[in-house]
Structure 1
Amino acid sequence: MVRRRGRIEFENDRGEIVHYARHENGGGLVSPKADVPHDVVVVPGAYVEAGARIGGGSRLKAGGWVDENAQLGRDVVVAENVHVGPDARIGDLVRLGRGVRIGAGAVVGANARLEDDVQVAPGATVRPGQLVRSSVVTAA
C-alpha cells in the first residue's frame, strides 16, 4: 500500500495498480472512478471499485466490497464481509446480511432481504421483496 496526497494505491491480484481515496462519510476506500454520493456511508475496511455506482442513503459496513461496475440502489445496507460481484445489480431498499456473496452479473430486486451467509450464483436473480434464508441461490 502506498499513500500519495490523499490517494491510496494497491496492487491487485492481476498485478495492476488501483487507486482509492478515503470517502468523506465514513473513511472507507472508494475508487475515484466510482460514483458514490456524499450521503452514502462507507466505513473503514469497506471498498468500492472503479465503475461502481451506489445510490444515496446506502451504507457499507466493514469488509463490504462493491466490485467493478456493480450497482447498488438507494438505501441499501451492506453488512460486514459482503462481496457484491462485478456487474451485479442490487435494487433499492435491499438488506444484505453478514457474509453474503453476490456473484458476477447477479440481480437482486428491490426490497429483497438476504440473511447471513447467503450466496447468489453468478447471473442468478433474487425477486423483488424476496426473503432469502437458504445458503445458495442458483441461476435458473
Structure 2
Amino acid sequence: MTGMRRRYEELETEDGKVVRYQRHENGGGLVAKGARVDETAYVADSAWVDPGAVVEPGASVGKFCWVEPGAVVGPRARLGSHVHVGRDAVVGRGARLGARVDVGAGAQLAPGLVVEPEAKIGDGAHVERSGMPPHVLAA
C-alpha cells in the first residue's frame, strides 16, 4: 500500500474525548466530524479544522494551519501557512492572512482585511479596514 494514506485520523483531546478527522476532498486537509467545510474550499493536506468550525465557499486554508472550534473562515478568505485561528474567531469574507499569523479567540477580522505575516491579533480584538492602510500589522 505504498503511496496510500488513511482517509481519517483520530485524536484524543485533553478531556479524553476522541475526535475523528476526515480528509477533505479538495486539498486533503483534516476536517473534524462536526466541522462544516464547503466542497469548494481548499484545505491543505497538513491543515486541521476542529469540530464546530466553518470554512466557507472558496476559502483557502494553507499548510500547517489550525482552525479551532467555533471559528469561521469567510468566503474567499485566504490563510497563509502556519496560521492559527482561535476558538470562535471570525475571518471576514476575502480577508488575506500572511504566514504564521495568530488570531486570538473571539477576534473579528473585517472583510477584505490584509494581515502581514507573523502578526498576532489578540483575543476578542475587532480589526476593521476603515482608517487603516491596506496592509495591517495588528499587535
Alignment TM-score > 0.5, same fold? yes
Distance in structure 1 (CA, Å) of the matches to 2:127 and 2:55: 19
How is 1:91-130 mapped onto 2 (pairs within 5 angstroms)? 91-128=92-129, 130=132
Deviations along 1:46-72, whole A, 9 cap, x unmatched? 010000111100111111111000011
Segment drifting more, 56-65 vs 9-18: 9-18
Q: Letter of the aligned partner of 1:118 in structure 2? A: A
Q: Letter of the aligned partner of 2:10 in structure 1? A: E
The alignment partner of 1:20 has SS state of strand
With structure 1 as the length reference, what TM-score do the two structures score?
A: 0.87
Corresponding position of 1:79: 80
RMSD in angstroms over aligned alpha carbons? Answer: 1.5
| Offset, 1:128 | 3.3
Corresponding position of 1:52: 53
Distance in structure 1 (CA, Å) of the matches to 2:137 and 2:83: 15
The alignment partner of 2:69 has SS state of coil
Distance in structure 1 (CA, Å) of the matches to 2:84 and 2:69: 11
- Number of residue equivalences: 131
Segment drifting more, 24-33 vs 14-23: 14-23
Corresponding position of 1:18: 19
| Offset, 1:133 | 2.5
Distance in structure 2 (CA, Å) of the matches to 1:117 and 1:13: 28
Q: Which 4+ residue blocks in structure 1 deviate beyond 3 angstroms?
A: none
Distance in structure 2 (CA, Å) of the matches to 1:83 and 1:117: 11
Distance in structure 1 (CA, Å) of the matches to 2:49 and 2:55: 9
Q: What runs of 5+ residues in structure 2 fail to find an aligned partner?
A: 1-5
The alignment partner of 2:51 has SS state of coil
Q: Letter of the aligned partner of 1:132 in structure 2? A: V
With structure 2 as the length reference, what TM-score do the two structures score?
A: 0.88
Q: Percent identity?
A: 36
Contact preservation (8 Å) 2:23, 2:29: yes
Q: What runs of 5+ residues in structure 1 fail to find an aligned partner?
A: none
